[in-house]
Amino acid sequence: MNKKWVAGIAFLLTGIILVDACRKPEELVEEDHNEWLTGGSQTVFDRGASAFGHAFPFLSADKARVHEVGDLAFEATFVTAPARLNPGLGPLYNSVSCASCHIGDGRGKPPGPGEALLSMLIRVSVPGTDAHGGPNPAPGFGGQLQQRAIVGKQPEAQVQLSYQEQTYYFADQTPYQLRYPSYALVNSYIPLPAGMMLSPRVAPPVFGLGLLEAIPEQTILAMADENDRDGDGISGKANMVWDVQANRRTLGRFGWKAGQPTLLQQSAAAYNEDMGITNFMFPQESSYGQAQHELLSQEMDISDSVLHAVGFYIRTLAVPGRRNANTPEVLRGKSIFTQAKCASCHVPSVRTGVNVSFPEISNQKIFPYTDLLLHDMGDELADHRPEFDANGNEWRTPPLWGVGLTRTVNGHNNFLHDGRARTLLEAIMWHGGEAAYSRDYVKKLAKPDRDALIRFLESL
């Protein structure tokens, strides 16, 4: 049926209920209904393996076409030049396509024992900052480690990951294990610079990001409380990062430390660093400055229109709606979520700004469960590598929408920036720093309450 008609009928019905409001106020609880629509009008109801990969349902025909062009580019596998299709890979790279890390538009994971890095990468830098206040590139390695290279070139280094398990106990004496990762770089093509800092990161999901980009900057800044003036133990700090196109520092929103201001720049940087694909925003190969660097061609590896199409694709990926949001157990879990102060950082809902030229993302009430701000998460989660205003202990609150579908889409339940958590509950038990209260609250819960909290997260 024509969707506008459905909306129209719903509007008429609301009017009828309004007339009747003095007798039956319960029927007007708008909140409960909206909560199922995680991405506002751009919500899709698919609980299967493609749940993260749908275009906005209300996208005009011409926009839907650009989305499709971007979809193909996101999946395209790059190869070594010269080739007719998608040449320009490398010389240094982490992976050959966007989709090989953001599998099913979802998240990556750390390698298993003996495996190579496939859907994660390692950021590197040395103490100090670059000209724009960002991470100081490590001499010979830049801002990111590429563990792969085309034939005839040397990868920067190989990565070895090992874990050490430690057992802890909930207040009811039930044990749980956390695995502590440690990363070592081996076979580096030159000796590692002294004091090089590493930040391992898995690929986060990429749906719903156009809606997050549409949240007004003031809305996010208003949630910040850098010096914790209200004394609730939770600060929340904006990351002001370098915006290449605007040529100034602006609010960062994307990446595990909110180090990127826009989806276009995030995509352009990914092409350049992750795949060795030069583009108008980042025209220099990541191997620049290395002895093995040579100028292959003055031309960009991809056209401006391909980059814009991929940025648009990411901007217009819909959000999966809630499942089982109203079962008694999920509702109990939801109130535990609030009592444990999870919602102080994972802020349930927010409204996007008015945007007359892009009505699909304009003025939508969405439920991303994030404030997009940085929080000190304690020493155990720290990467000790600053990124603009984010210090080594700080991470951006990740959105929780869709987390319950991770296993269905990606076949694993690895969470947090480096995928160290193997379940949602482990992810919570890693929380420290500003979130120590929340973690301790969960530690004291009885098993049925812990389960209810997890059921709630699984319904998101």
Binding site for Ca ion (CB under 5 A): 88, 141-142, 144, 146, 225, 228, 230, 232, 234, 276, 286, 301
261 to 320, contacts with ligand HEC by CB under 6 A? Answer: 263, 266-267, 270-271, 274-275, 310, 314
Largest alpha-carbon pair distance within the chain? Answer: 79
**Binding partner selected for residue 88 from Ca ion, ligand HEC, none, CB under the kind-specific 5 to 8 Å limit:** Ca ion
How is 373-442 classified by DSSP, letter by letter? -EEE--TTT-----BTTB-TTEEEPPP-TTGGGHHHHHS---BSTTS-BSSHHHHHHT--GGGHHHHHHH
> In the structure encoding, which two tokens stand for residue 229, read together?
């003036």
Nearer to Ca ion, 266 or 413 (CB): 266
Interface with ligand HEC, residue 425, by CB under 6 A: no
**Rounded CA Rg of the chain:** 23
Site string for ligand HEC, 328-367 (x = CB under 6 A): ---------x--xxx-xxx---------------------
Count of residues of this chain found to bind ligand HEC when the rule CB under 6 A is applied = 58
**Binding partner selected for residue 314 from Ca ion, ligand HEC, none, CB under the kind-specific 5 to 8 Å limit:** ligand HEC
Contacts of 251 (CB under 8 A, 6+ apart): 217, 220, 221, 238, 239, 240, 241, 261
Residue selected from 215, 361, 409, 416 as contacting ligand HEC according to rule CB under 6 A: 416
**Binding partner selected for residue 259 from ligand HEC, Ca ion, none, CB under the kind-specific 5 to 8 Å limit:** ligand HEC
Q: Distances in Å between the alpha carbon of 162 and those of 114, 266, 303, 430?
A: 9, 29, 40, 18
**Binding partner selected for residue 429 from ligand HEC, Ca ion, none, CB under the kind-specific 5 to 8 Å limit:** none
Nearer to Ca ion, 45 or 189 (CB): 189
Residue selected from 360, 434, 449, 458 as contacting ligand HEC according to rule CB under 6 A: 434
Would you call 108 exposed, middle or buried from its count of C-beta atoms within 10 A (0-12, 13-18, 19+)?
Answer: buried
> How far apart are alpha carbons 113 and 202 in whole angstroms?
16
Nearer to ligand HEC, 101 or 192 (CB): 101
**Binding partner selected for residue 301 from Ca ion, ligand HEC, none, CB under the kind-specific 5 to 8 Å limit:** Ca ion
Interface with ligand HEC, residue 122, by CB under 6 A: no
Interface with ligand HEC, residue 424, by CB under 6 A: yes
Interface with ligand HEC, residue 206, by CB under 6 A: yes
Nearer to Ca ion, 1 or 295 (CB): 295
82 to 101, contacts with ligand HEC by CB under 6 A? Answer: 94-95, 98, 100-101
Residue with tokens 């971007």: 70
CA torsion 342-418-54-13 (nearest 10°) is 0
Interface with ligand HEC, residue 413, by CB under 6 A: no
**Binding partner selected for residue 254 from ligand HEC, Ca ion, none, CB under the kind-specific 5 to 8 Å limit:** ligand HEC
Interface with ligand HEC, residue 403, by CB under 6 A: yes
Contacts of 13 (CB under 8 A, 6+ apart): none
How is 150-164 classified by DSSP, letter by letter? -TTS--S-EEEEEEE
> How far apart are alpha carbons 393 and 69 in whole angstroms?
39
Residue selected from 201, 308, 322, 385 as contacting ligand HEC according to rule CB under 6 A: 201
Site string for ligand HEC, 1-40 (x = CB under 6 A): ----------------------------------------
User: What's the min distance (Å) between Cβ of 274 and ligand HEC?
Assistant: 4
How is 197-254 classified by DSSP, letter by letter? EEEEEEPPP-TTHHHHHTS-HHHHHHH--TT-TT-SS---B--EEEETTTTEEEE--B
Would you call 459 exposed, middle or buried from its count of C-beta atoms within 10 A (0-12, 13-18, 19+)?
Answer: buried
Nearer to ligand HEC, 125 or 267 (CB): 267
> How far apart are alpha carbons 353 and 361 in whole angstroms?
8
> How far apart are alpha carbons 460 and 453 in whole angstroms?
11
Stretch that binds ligand HEC, among 51-59, 136-144, 180-188, 393-401 (CB under 6 A): 393-401
Nearer to ligand HEC, 4 or 86 (CB): 86
Chain center to CA of 160: 24
Phi, psi angle pair for 144, to nearest 5°: -150, 140
Terminal-to-terminal C-alpha distance of the chain: 27
**Binding partner selected for residue 276 from Ca ion, ligand HEC, none, CB under the kind-specific 5 to 8 Å limit:** Ca ion
Interface with ligand HEC, residue 103, by CB under 6 A: no
Residue selected from 44, 198, 428, 452 as contacting ligand HEC according to rule CB under 6 A: 428
Judging by DSSP bridges, how do beta strands 319-320 and 43-44 pair with one another?
Answer: parallel
CA torsion 363-209-75-125 (nearest 10°) is 150
Residues binding ligand HEC (CB under 6 A): 74, 94-95, 98, 100-102, 119-121, 201-204, 206, 209, 234, 254-257, 259, 263, 266-267, 270-271, 274-275, 310, 314, 337, 340-342, 344-346, 375, 377, 381, 395, 397-398, 400, 403, 415-417, 424, 427-428, 431, 434-435, 438, 442, 457
